Amino acid sequence: MLEGLDCPAVLDGLVRFSGRTNVLAWRVRREPELLAVHAAVHDVLAAAHCAGDHPLLLPHTWQPHITLGRSRRPAWNVPDDQLLPPGLHEPVSGRFVAARLYDSHTRALTSIPGE
């Protein structure tokens, strides 16, 4: 499904999520190429009845990120500039060349396409 995946990956600051667990993550910019890949994967999973109805996974609300840490209690209540190492306060650019799906209920990690 994702043969030849190659799209911009721009890490741009931190983002925090709260809920069942608290998450500290590196925000990934919502570049058009990355959003197109996410929408295509979402459509395939929805057609296979695997996408579920979770509002945070819908293409228009999805926040791409790279998780740095998780905690069951409030954590990381300090300014971003104290959490990022020196030299990483500016955006970091790279490329996404592979994808995987993480099921937070089963904690299963699946490569896309499956092996």
Question: Of 3, 67, 62, nearest to 34 (Cα)?
Answer: 62
Res 1 pLDDT > 60: no
Find the mean pLDDT for residues 64-72: 89
Res 56 pLDDT > 80: no
Quick one: pLDDT at residue 51?
60
> How far is 36 from 57, CA to CA, in rounded Å?
13
Q: What is the DSSP letter of 18?
A: -
State both tokens at 52.
């579920």
What pTM, to 2 d.p., does this model score?
Answer: 0.76
- Cα angle, residue 58 at apex, residues 98 and 16 outer, rounded to 5°: 75
Cβ–Cβ under 8 Å, residues 11 and 31 = no
